[in-house]
Amino acid sequence: MIEVSNVSRLFGEFRAVDDISFSIKTGEIVGLLGPNGAGKTTTMRMIAGFLDSSSGFVKIDGIDVKENPVKTKSKIGYMPESAPMYSDMIVADYLEYIANVEGQDPTEKLPHLVEICGLKEVMHKNIGELSRGNKQRVGLAHALMNDPEILILDEPTSGLDPNQVSEVRELIKKIGETRTVIISTHILSEVEMLCNRVIIISGGKKVADSSTEELRTHYGNTSEVIVLTGGTEDIVKSKFASIQGSAGVKVSAVDGKIQSAITVEGNAEIRPEVAKVCVDAGIPLYEMQLKKNSLEDVFKILTEAK
Beta carbon of residue 53, minimum distance to ligand ATP (angstroms, whole number)? 13
For ligand ATP, the closer CB: 43 or 222: 43
Q: What are phi and psi of 246, to 5 degrees?
A: -90, 130
Binding site for ligand ATP (CB under 6 A): 11, 16, 34, 36-42, 186
For ligand ATP, the closer CB: 17 or 274: 17
Beta carbon of residue 80, minimum distance to ligand ATP (angstroms, whole number)? 10
Beta carbon of residue 38, minimum distance to ligand ATP (angstroms, whole number)? 4
SS (H, E, C) 117-132: HCCHHHCCCEHHHCCH
CB atoms closer than 10 angstroms to residue 4 = 22
For ligand ATP, the closer CB: 27 or 159: 159
Q: What are phi and psi of 43, to 5 degrees?
A: -65, -45
Could you tell me which of 81, 94, 162 has the C-alpha nearest to residue 125?
Answer: 94
For ligand ATP, the closer CB: 200 or 225: 200
d(CA 114, CA 222): 47
For ligand ATP, the closer CB: 36 or 244: 36
For ligand ATP, the closer CB: 12 or 272: 12
- Beta-strand pair 76-79/2-11: unpaired
Beta carbon of residue 40, minimum distance to ligand ATP (angstroms, whole number)? 3
CA distances to 20, 90, 113, 173, 194 from 166, in Å: 31, 25, 19, 10, 11
H or E, element range at 181: strand 180-185
d(CA 1, CA 28): 9
Beta carbon of residue 45, minimum distance to ligand ATP (angstroms, whole number)? 8
d(CA 168, CA 119): 12
d(CA 30, CA 181): 6
CA distances to 46, 60, 71, 267, 273 from 246, in Å: 45, 48, 57, 11, 10
Beta carbon of residue 34, minimum distance to ligand ATP (angstroms, whole number)? 5
For ligand ATP, the closer CB: 42 or 260: 42
Beta carbon of residue 198, minimum distance to ligand ATP (angstroms, whole number)? 14
